[in-house]
Structure 1
Amino acid sequence: MNKTNTNTTTNRTDRLISRITTIVASIVVVCLAVWGIKTLLHQWKYEETNDAQIDEYINPVVAKVTGYVEEIRYEENQEVKKGDTLVIIDNSEYAAQQQEAAASLLNAKAQIAVLESNVSTTAQTSKVYQSQIAAAKAKLTNQEQEYDRYKKLYDVESATKQQLERVEAALAVARSDYNTAIGAYEASLAKINDAKVQQSALEAEIKRRAAVVTKNDLNVSYTIITAPYNGKMGRRTIQPKQLVQAGQVLAYIVDWEAGKWVIANFKETQIRHMFTGETAMIVVDAFPGKKITGKIESLSGATGSRFSLLPPDNATGNFVKIAQRIPVRIRLDGTSEELKLLSAGMSVNVSIAKAHK
């Protein structure tokens, strides 16, 4: 009797376990079927890749002049606005050069004033010489007439040879005075031309010195390095009193004004349904519960491997065909506050609906 009851209880337990196992297995099968169907439908409707990262412009802040770092006004990972002072370089040497160039420019301008005064004075002198020429010409005409009269008188023996010679000498002096006045006038005109040539050369020198002043003004302004746009600073690699060279990278700044985008590397077999302007769904690994939208800006003109330092050369006997990746650039939508949470290099998953144009 006890054996019978024991067997009956065992059978009931086995049936119960079998029933529970069947139910659990059925539920698992149904869940797997639903998940599989959902996955297949999703794969049928969308192209996906997890080979994607957020990107943005990270630009170097470069020193334009050589000098010692006087002050650093930023910290690593600090948010900055356009125009904020980042680094101050000692400008004492450049300020001295600036003052010297400004003094040279003033000196050249003063020389221009002197030349202009000389031109004006020489022009007045030329007018005096013109008056002297007129007077000398009148005197010469008078002496020529006097000589003609005495020559006629001498020819008829009404005047002595001594009188004729005296008049002839006076005529020679008048002619010499006239030629001297003309020479002085021409010399004054030559001086004016020389002064004008010197003035032209000096004006060119003034332009050169003005350019030097502008250059020195720029060098002084370059000693104050400011943020070129709104962004976030990267690593700090300099210290106060450190000597920096022109062209040296002082820091890196993340450009927030240029926006952010995703570079998604899709297989070459996936891009046939993609086109510029199509909407993409993006899930960032750092924020798995949040979806971000974006639009395709462009598809690369070549595979990613072609842009590598050493592009592959498949003209060998051991070629293995591998599906290549095509970089797709996707511009992110969203407010600036939302995009600030995203950093360059973050991994994302990208889904793009298949579309037929």
Structure 2
Amino acid sequence: METNTKYTQTDHLITKITAWIAGLIALALAVWGGITLSELYKYEDTNDAQVEEYINPVTSRVTGFIREIKYEENQEVKKGDTLLIIDNSEYQLQQEEGEAALSNAQAQIGVLESNVETTARISQASQSQIASVQAKLTRAQQDYDRYSKLFKVESATQQQLENSRAALDVATSEFRSAQENYQAALSKVNDIKAQKGVYQAEIKRRQALLNRSKLDVGYTVIRAPYNGKMGRRTIQQGQLIQAGQTLAYIVDQDAGKWVIANFKETQISHMHIGGIAEVTADAFPDHKFKGTIVSLSPATGARFSLLPPDNSTGNFVKIVQRIPVKVKLTESPETLAQLRAGMNANISIKKD
């Protein structure tokens, strides 16, 4: 009888403890359910989100063999750091050829300027000769007029008149020849000046070609366009690369990081630019990152796909569409350094 009473007290104690535990569990579930319902009422969330960064290719602008590689995989680089060097022997020769061609064109300008000066002096001499020949023509004209008058009064012979006429014709011819020589000298000066314009244009062309050659020489040294971190290395020293070929990828650390969250179309009615968001990455579930909405996609993600859906075929099944929302992470760069592009994330946006 005493044993049965003892067992009954033990069972009663166990039942009481079990009831308390069940009550605590029920209370905890109620609190959790209340918090969850409150969050569902105040927030829109999704786990269809990924961390993004600008990942840009590093390409070559010239063709050549790789002489030296200055970076390693996953190495942090600063803006202007040399990444690799391409053999520039051929481009250096092209630059030297361009410099020689430019010097030759400039020398031709010097020769033309000298010819202009020489021809100008010849034209001045021709102009002076015109004055001398004109004086001779005037004298010959006067002699002819005098002999003509003397011949009329029979004070001069026919031969004297003919001689004066011949001298006048010679002087006239010499005067015309001097004028033509002077005009020819002026025309030659103009021709040389026109040729000078052609050579000046040639100098500009040669200068442009030389500048292009210098650019090609400069392009043989590939530098980091901004502060960032290099990705996988797929090239080797001595490898032949082509202009436009992708050599590596660099992650831009100056542009910041953001999250692209694909919310259901039924969730975006309370979202707007500037809305507050909380982000947790699967890799760091205990840390919440702050962010703000910077843009909402103008169309669903499916509309930007290679083959957008067409619901006019007759076989229509309604599917809830997703709207990409861009959330800029506002934490300090040191805090965001642990996040990597492509990481999965969960995001909650407060309803307004």
* TM-score exceeds 0.5: yes
Question: What is the CA-CA distance between 1:316 and the residue it aligns to?
Answer: 3.1
Residue of structure 2 in register with 1:9 after alignment:
6
Q: Output the CA distance in 1 between the equivalents of 2:315 and 2:200.
A: 74
Residue of structure 1 in register with 2:218 after alignment:
221
Choose which of 239, 260, 263 in structure 1 pairs with 2:260.
263
Question: Does 2:143 correspond to 1:149?
Answer: no
Alignment of 1:293-332 (within 5 A): 293-332=290-329
Could you list the runs of 5+ residues in structure 1 that have no partner in the other structure? none
Question: Does 2:28 correspond to 1:31?
Answer: yes
Residue of structure 2 in register with 1:55 after alignment:
52
For the residue of structure 2 that corresponds to 1:334, the secondary structure is coil
Tell me the amino acid that sits aligned with residue 126 of structure 1.
S
Deviations 1:147-193 (A, max 9, x none): 01101111221111111111111111111111111111111011111
For the residue of structure 2 that corresponds to 1:258, the secondary structure is coil
Aligned length: 352
Question: What is the CA-CA distance between 1:271 and the residue it aligns to?
Answer: 0.8
Question: Does 2:103 correspond to 1:106?
Answer: yes
Deviations 1:107-159 (A, max 9, x none): 00000011011011111111110000111111111101110110111122111
Question: What is the CA-CA distance between 1:300 and the residue it aligns to?
Answer: 0.5
Tell me the amino acid that sits aligned with residue 228 of structure 2.
G
Question: Does 2:333 correspond to 1:336?
Answer: yes
Q: Output the CA distance in 2 between the equivalents of 1:333 and 1:150.
A: 114
Choose which of 199, 202, 205 in structure 2 pairs with 1:202.
199
For the residue of structure 2 that corresponds to 1:319, the secondary structure is coil
Choose which of 40, 43, 66 in structure 1 pairs with 2:40.
43
- TM-score (norm. length: structure 1): 0.96
Q: Output the CA distance in 2 between the equivalents of 1:309 and 1:16.
A: 68
Moved over 3 A (4+): none
Residue of structure 1 in register with 2:279 after alignment:
282
For the residue of structure 2 that corresponds to 1:315, the secondary structure is helix
Choose which of 185, 188, 197 in structure 1 pairs with 2:185.
188
Deviations 1:216-247 (A, max 9, x none): 00000000000000000011111000000000
Residue of structure 1 in register with 2:176 after alignment:
179
Q: Output the CA distance in 2 between the equivalents of 1:341 and 1:142.
A: 107
Question: Does 2:71 correspond to 1:74?
Answer: yes
Deviations 1:185-208 (A, max 9, x none): 111011111101111111111110
Question: What is the CA-CA distance between 1:13 and the residue it aligns to?
Answer: 3.2
Q: Output the CA distance in 2 between the equivalents of 1:74 and 1:294.
A: 33
Q: Output the CA distance in 1 between the equivalents of 2:17 and 2:195.
A: 112
- TM-score (norm. length: structure 2): 0.98
Q: Output the CA distance in 2 between the equivalents of 1:316 and 1:14.
A: 69
The alignment yields a C-alpha RMSD, in angstroms, of 1.1
Q: Output the CA distance in 2 between the equivalents of 1:239 and 1:34.
A: 61
Q: Output the CA distance in 2 between the equivalents of 1:328 and 1:107.
A: 62
For the residue of structure 2 that corresponds to 1:232, the secondary structure is strand
For the residue of structure 2 that corresponds to 1:236, the secondary structure is coil
For the residue of structure 2 that corresponds to 1:275, the secondary structure is coil
Tell me the amino acid that sits aligned with residue 65 of structure 1.
V
For the residue of structure 2 that corresponds to 1:15, the secondary structure is helix
Residue of structure 2 in register with 1:120 after alignment:
117
Tell me the amino acid that sits aligned with residue 286 of structure 1.
A
Tell me the amino acid that sits aligned with residue 194 of structure 2.
V
Tell me the amino acid that sits aligned with residue 182 of structure 1.
Q
Q: Output the CA distance in 1 between the equivalents of 2:11 and 2:313.
A: 65
Q: Output the CA distance in 1 between the equivalents of 2:327 and 2:111.
A: 67
Question: What is the CA-CA distance between 1:62 and the residue it aligns to?
Answer: 0.5
Moved more, 112-121 or 19-28: 19-28
Q: Output the CA distance in 1 between the equivalents of 2:11 and 2:321.
A: 55
Choose which of 81, 85, 88 in structure 1 pairs with 2:85.
88
Alignment of 1:231-242 (within 5 A): 231-242=228-239
Choose which of 134, 153, 162 in structure 1 pairs with 2:159.
162
Q: Output the CA distance in 2 between the equivalents of 1:298 and 1:191.
A: 71
Question: What is the CA-CA distance between 1:69 and the residue it aligns to?
Answer: 0.2
